[in-house]
């Protein structure tokens, strides 16, 4: 290359470089979103998980999507959080899909189904086996989109004032429990009501409730149920793998840049696993405290009650497979089909291993 050509080329290159440096940075739009929740402020596992999810999204987006959390009752009543997203008074809600079964019975399949999927099975169905696509269709009707956002694992069965020795002992019992599981208990003879976490203790204290279930030891210790009831049953047969959800306003979500949409999705996946670890780590510690420090009696449900619960569960699911709503039928069929497949994995791998470990491994 000739000297004059080199100088000319270098000058052009320098001009491009100077232009690139001198060009003003394009201002990126910032979004301030509100997340309403069904959980009390700083509530172990669930409320903390909602706040951590909001913080993840804010930090991962470098503040471009800033999420402010409103705990139960701060902006809207806890069981109106879903409606707040539909109506646009909040962009996000954090709760459990089965709280909205009055809008569509199919919502219950994305939280916890009696004698249904474990949390690992549920995540597999939603992420890889068509569950998310069905969930999207259901929530499209309301202008929202749902994401799995937390996992409590298998829950506890509930708190009772008196020992439950047979199915006869729950007849007429006023019992707090939601979703399809609530329908199961109702068919077995209990009077079932649903209420938010922060309302349960007072209802037990006043006598309005005879029994209640919420999640498990980690949450239940914080809620103080042991002060009123001493009979604690586990495991739950109605919530074998409960998932929480993040719900977003669909049109506002679609208007976000693609990278912010991806941040919301990935943050939810991370939090699903984080919450599971939180409960796994803290449930056994809380249970030890309940039994050793507060005199709680740990019990298992009687066989006739479990059998009746299983029958009621199958009846309800089969009815949903013949529901008048096509999406409910499709969701129920998909759930049953994939549960049949996924439970073979659980039974052949997990159950055999845990049974052998329990039988042969005893560390001092």
- Structural domain boundaries in the chain: 31-154+241-280, 158-239+282-316
pLDDT digits (tens, 9 = 90+) for 235-264: 999 999 999 999 999 999 999 999 999 999
CATH number for 158-239+282-316: choose from 3.30.70.270, 3.40.190.10, 3.40.640.10, 3.40.50.720: 3.40.190.10
- The rounded distance, in Å, linking the Cα atoms of 270 and 43 is 19
pLDDT digits (tens, 9 = 90+) for 114-145: 999 999 999 999 999 999 999 999 999 999 99
pLDDT digits (tens, 9 = 90+) for 259-280: 999 999 999 999 999 999 999 9
The pTM of this model reads 0.90
pLDDT digits (tens, 9 = 90+) for 287-313: 999 999 999 999 999 999 999 999 999
pLDDT digits (tens, 9 = 90+) for 202-232: 999 999 999 999 999 999 999 999 999 999 9
| Cis omega (within 30 of 0) for bond into 235 | yes
Burial class (CB in 10 A: 0-12, 13-18, 19+), 41: middle
Q: What is the pLDDT of residue 27?
A: 67
Distances in Å between the alpha carbon of 286 and those of 273, 282, 293? 20, 6, 10
For domain 31-154+241-280, the CATH architecture is: 3-Layer(aba) Sandwich (3.40)
Indicate if 158-239+282-316 has the same CATH topology as 31-154+241-280: yes
- The rounded distance, in Å, linking the Cα atoms of 276 and 279 is 5
- The rounded distance, in Å, linking the Cα atoms of 32 and 275 is 25
pLDDT digits (tens, 9 = 90+) for 184-203: 999 999 999 999 999 999 99
Q: Residue 339: in which H helix or E strand, if any?
A: helix 326-345
Q: What is the pLDDT of residue 364?
A: 84
């Amino acid at each position: 290359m000739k000297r004059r050509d080199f100088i000319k080329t270098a000058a052009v290159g320098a001009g491009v470089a100077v232009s690139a440096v001198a060009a003003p940075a394009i201002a990126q739009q910032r979004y301030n979103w509100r997340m309403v929740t069904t959980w009390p402020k700083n509530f172990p596992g669930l409320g903390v998980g909602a706040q951590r999810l909001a913080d993840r999204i804010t930090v991962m987006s470098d503040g471009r999507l800033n999420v402010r959390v409103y705990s139960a009752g701060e902006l809207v009543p806890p069981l109106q959080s879903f409606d707040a997203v539909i109506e646009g008074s909040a962009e996000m809600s954090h709760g459990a899909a089965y709280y909205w079964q009055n809008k569509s019975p199919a919502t219950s399949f994305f939280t916890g189904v009696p004698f249904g999927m474990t949390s690992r099975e549920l995540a597999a169905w939603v992420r890889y086996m068509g569950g998310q696509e069905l969930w999207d269709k259901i929530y499209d009707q309301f202008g929202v989109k749902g994401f799995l956002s937390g996992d409590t694992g298998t829950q506890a069965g509930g708190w009772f004032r008196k020992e439950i020795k047979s199915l006869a002992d729950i007849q007429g019992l006023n019992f707090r429990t939601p979703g399809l599981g609530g329908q199961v208990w109702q068919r077995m003879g209990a009077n079932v009501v649903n209420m938010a976490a922060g309302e349960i203790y007072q209802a037990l204290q006043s006598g309005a409730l005879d029994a209640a279930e919420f999640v498990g030891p980690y949450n239940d210790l914080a809620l103080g149920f042991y002060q009123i009831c001493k009979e604690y049953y586990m495991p739950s047969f109605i919530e074998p793998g409960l998932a929480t959800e993040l719900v977003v306003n669909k049109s506002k979500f679609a208007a976000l840049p693609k990278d912010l949409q991806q941040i919301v999705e990935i943050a939810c996946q991370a939090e699903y696993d984080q919450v599971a670890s939180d409960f796994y780590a803290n449930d056994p510690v809380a249970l030890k405290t309940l039994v050793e420090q507060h005199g709680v009696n740990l019990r298992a449900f009687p066989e006739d009650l479990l059998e009746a619960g299983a029958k009621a569960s199958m009846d309800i699911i089969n009815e949903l497979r013949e529901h008048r709503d096509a999406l409910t039928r499709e969701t129920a069929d998909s759930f049953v089909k994939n549960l049949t497949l996924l439970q073979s994995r659980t039974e052949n791998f997990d159950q055999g291993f845990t049974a052998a470990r329990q039988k042969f491994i005893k560390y001092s």
